Amino acid sequence: MVLLALFLRLYFPPKAIGVSGEIEELIPIRGCTVLNDFDFQQISEMGCNYVQVVVWPQVTKDGEVVEFYESLARPEDIIPVEKLRRLSENTEEIIVRRIRKAHELGYKVYLVIYPERTGFHEAYGTGMKNPDKFLEEMKNLSLKWARIAEENDVEMFSPVNELFLWVGEKKANRWHEEILPELKKVYNGYLAPRGLQFYYFDPFSERPFASKNTEFNFSGWDYITSDFYCIGIEKVPTEENILKCIIATINKSIEMRDKYDARGVFYGEMSHPAGTSSDVFDLFFRENYGKVDGWFLWSLNDYSNDCKKVAKDYFTRRHDISNTSLKDVEIFDPTDVASRIPEAKELVFREDFGGMGFESKNGTKGYKFEVQGTNYTVKVKFRIIDGGALIFFERNSDMYEIQIIEASRIAIYKSGQEGHFIIAEPRREIRPNRSYLLEISRNGNDFAIYLDGELVHAFSDPNPLKGSFDLTSYYKEPVDNSCVIYEEVAVLK
């Protein structure tokens, strides 16, 4: 009897429960995610009215794109490419079946294209040699699935999720502007970009700061959308600081909704780098409730029972609307810090390695040098052949470090007695076999980092470090080697 009951729930899952008209008005988008057919069993009692269905284009280690019907996020999920291609032939049939099942059960459907590095979900564009080819393939896949969405009466569609993590914010924003008119030719439902992140968090001033995604052109899109993560808050994950990120995101979302005359605002994902507890869930839902149109839960398997109870409560029961978000949050502006650092003009030291460059492979050899004082600019000209550049500065027992890896990742960390934590993770386009000029400027407690003359990030550390510089290389899965040529180093004061 137990096996029969499980069989019936799998093949005949219950329909979505209804909610009151008042809740429909307060939170019109109550989203759950279906990553496989089993997920339909779990969501029926949650109060969801939308189901997010995901297409998973798999990007192999060699850069081949193979559309797929489920996530292959971990190394143990990797399957031979030949088998992946063969199984891929079933993708359209399986995804369309999920769309139709969702409609039969009374849900609206939100179809999302979510590319993934096979076996390394969070690698994104790491080591990708030809991002332009990748973008062209994503365009073709997005248009194909937009047509399928139209044919199957899908209510809402998003092209590539988290594209800026693959190719950088500027390139991703331009891609979205170019594909939007093409999408509208083949699809008549609601369109929403997916996977943007509006704010990061400065761990020193304990204030949010805007990402380049706040410059996204939402003109012509139906919804203002973002994911909520608040990267950078890991060092100081207090409720007050999480609330600052939530309020900043709500205020910016509503501002852009009004600016672009969009239908509304929703979140595609909500998580927290220091751990998503039920208290964080409750705080997020409480502050957003009645102010935005809604949000999508990820697969319920990813949440604790307490988190699911909180989500269901907000999806099915009326709550008061918080007025906390009406208060202004002080935003950290890195350009203010950068402006306090005077221009260094006096050349103190220069090394061009005889015109041949200094080669670092797999992090085994570094070029080290000292810089006197705490007012300087260090200029480093480098070229990535494989993997990424790894620059330690003010390194002693503690250190700052900058990781720069193709095709889009720049990460700035501090390590030492305070722990190892991220300062910022801006996304810029990084190409192999091209020379870049990195500048690190310091004035006392203030630091500014530039790439080819553009400010990457600036911060003010109340406990600044002092030590040496070390130029080396590193690699990050799925890349398995690194080679960086440091062409020139200069120190100015």
What pLDDT score was predicted for residue 308? 93
For the stretch 94-120, pLDDT in tens is: 999 999 999 999 999 999 999 999 999
Q: Are strands 427-430 and 407-416 parallel, antiparallel or unpaired?
A: antiparallel
CB 393 within 8 A of CB 426: no
pLDDT tens-digit profile of 251-263?
A: 999 999 999 999 9
pLDDT at 4: 43
- Taking domain 334-492, whether its CATH number is 2.40.50.100 is answered by no
Domain ranges of the chain: 15-326, 334-492
What is the reported pLDDT for 19? 64
Mind listing the pLDDT tens digit for each residue in 320-358? Answer: 999 886 567 999 999 999 999 999 999 999 999 999 999
Structure tokens that stand for 245 in this block:
């990120």
168: left (phi over 0), alpha (psi -120 to 50) or beta: left
3-state helix, strand, coil in the chain (%, to 5): 30, 30, 35
What was the pLDDT predicted at 17?
Answer: 60
Mean pLDDT for all residues in the chain: 93
What whole-number distance in Å separates Cα of residue 427 and Cα of residue 165?
Answer: 7
CATH code given to domain 15-326: 3.20.20.80
Q: For residue 423, what is the enclosing H or E element?
A: strand 419-424
pLDDT at 1: 47
For the chain, residues with pLDDT lower than 50 are 1-8
Where do the H-state alpha helices sit in 261-333? 278-288, 305-316
Note whether 120 and 75 are within 8 A (CB).
yes
Query: Where is 446: in which H helix or E strand?
Result: strand 446-451
Query: pLDDT digit string (tens) for 188-240?
Result: 999 999 999 999 999 999 999 999 999 999 999 999 999 998 999 999 999 99
| Bridge pairing between strands 29-34 and 294-296 | parallel
Q: How many CB atoms lie within 10 A of CB 470?
A: 17
Query: Within a 13 Å sphere around the CA of 46, how many CA atoms are in the beta-carbon half?
Result: 29
Q: pLDDT value at position 5?
A: 45
E strands present in 8-136: 29-34, 50-55, 58-59, 65-66, 108-113, 116-117
Single-letter amino acid code for the residue at 20: S
Give the sign of the dihedral formed by CA 94, CA 100, CA 106, CA 108: positive
Q: Per the structure block, which two tokens stand in for 406?
A: 């193709």
Cα maximum dimension of the chain: 83
Q: Is the peptide bond before 407 cis (omega within 30 degrees of 0)?
A: yes
What residues form DSSP beta bridges with 223? Answer: 264
Host H or E run for residue 56: none
Which is nearest to 482 in space by CA: 492, 471, 491? 471
Strands 108-113 and 156-160, bridge-based pairing? parallel
* pLDDT at site 166: 95
Helix or strand (DSSP H, E) at 11: helix 2-11
Whether the predicted model's global pTM rises above the 0.75 cut:
yes
Tokens 């409750």, located at residue: 282
Q: Which two tokens stand for residue 478?
A: 């799925």
Position 101 scores a pLDDT of 97
